[in-house]
Amino acid sequence: MSGEIKYNVISVRQGDSFIINIELKNGCKPVNLEGAELRMDVRKNKNLIFSAVGVKVDVEKGKMAIVLTPEQTNNEVGEYDCDIQLTTADGSINTIYPANVNQIGTFRITEQVTQGV
């Protein structure tokens, strides 16, 4: 699983799998994510490139993950806009990535050398 997350940039090598682990806390206490949904959109010039939906890991401890497949990351090398939104059981929507409300997240696909089979 190759990739990295730094501040407002998610980087992954073209055609690779990558798991984005999410752990939400309120102070030091985990946020119960029972009934919550997680969604990531990646866009280029406002056109949707792909969406990914979160999977439950341990919702009582605030843990979910977004599992990116090689098909999703096998797009042109470059930078795309992205965000991750959490919809809670009561219907409220919160953009959790990027955390800074004044920035748009960047999803960067870097060049590969070895072509997958």
Write the DSSP symbol of residue 29. E
Q: pLDDT grade, residue 7 (50/70/90)? A: confident
- Return the pLDDT at 3: 86
Using CB atoms within 10 Å of the CB of residue 20, give its burial: 0 to 12 exposed, 13 to 18 middle, 19+ buried.
Answer: buried
- 52 forms beta bridges with 40
pLDDT digit string, tens, across residues 88-98: 999 999 999 99
Q: pLDDT grade, residue 73 (50/70/90)? A: very high
Rounded mean pLDDT of 78-84? 97
pLDDT score of 114 more than 90: no
Rounded mean pLDDT of 6-26? 94
Pairing of strands 93-97, 9-13: unpaired
Rounded mean pLDDT of 33-39? 96
pLDDT score of 1 more than 60: no
